[in-house]
Amino acid sequence: ESDAVALATNGIVTQAGNGNVSLTSLDGTITIDQVVTAHGTGTVTIDAQDTGSDGTNDLTITAAVSSTSGAISLTADQTISAGNTVGTTGDITATATTGAITSVGTDDILSGAKVDLAAATGIAAYTSATTLEATNSTSGNIVITESDAVALATNGIVTQAVNGNVSLTSLD
């Protein structure tokens, strides 16, 4: 799609096998307001690219995004806002190239084996991960609330922002 994307009433679901789901906007915001689910090892890839110059290339999630055990990849040229659960027993990668990653409320979590977050202007997320990695490159803080015990991945949690703070809280 070359403009903004919004899902229809029934969302996108693969119900059998290991089908993948890929949703890309070449120049516009993607709003996930209906369920997106990949069955089995199927992957979910959602990418709000910026091939133009309108500056509205966000990814907003207000309905569940999941895979049984496949990887989930979320990319936005600007901001990723998770207002509902993004979950898999596989890995989750979320990249906000020029913006921030945020999740709203303790029920709206990024849940996966490895959760890898990368943003430019800050990360404020609730996670449930076995392994966690986060990088913030330009400005803002990294504030992560983890629902249980977590191990840090090889690169750990890194802020490259001048005066950027890091806070990791485990609720377990």
* C-alpha neighbours within 13 Å on the C-beta side of residue 88: 27
Q: Give the per-residue pLDDT at 1.
A: 45
Mean of pLDDT values over 52-69? 84
Question: Would you say residue 130 has pLDDT above 60?
Answer: yes
pLDDT single digits (tens) 73-96 = 999 999 999 989 999 999 999 999
Give the model's pLDDT for residue 25.
87
Percent of the chain having pLDDT more than 90?
Answer: 65
Positive or negative CA dihedral for 155, 108, 18, 151? Answer: positive
Residues 6+ apart with CB under 8 A from 2: 25, 26, 27, 28, 51
- The per-residue pLDDT for 90 is 97
What's the average model confidence in pLDDT over 93-104?
94
- Under 8 Å between Cβ of 42 and 19: yes
* Nearest CA among 20, 32, 23, 156 for reference residue 90: 20
| Residue range 4-45, pLDDT digits in tens | 555 556 778 888 889 999 999 887 889 898 999 999 999 999
Q: What is the pLDDT of residue 2?
A: 46
Residue bearing the bigger pLDDT, 4 or 143: 143
pLDDT the model gives residue 54: 61
The answer, yes or no, to whether residue 133 has pLDDT greater than 70, is: yes
User: Any long-range contacts for 160-166 (C-beta under 8 Å, 24+ apart)?
Assistant: 160/135, 160/136, 161/122, 161/136, 161/137, 164/122, 164/136, 164/139, 164/140, 165/141, 166/141, 166/142
The pTM (predicted TM-score) of the whole model is: 0.92
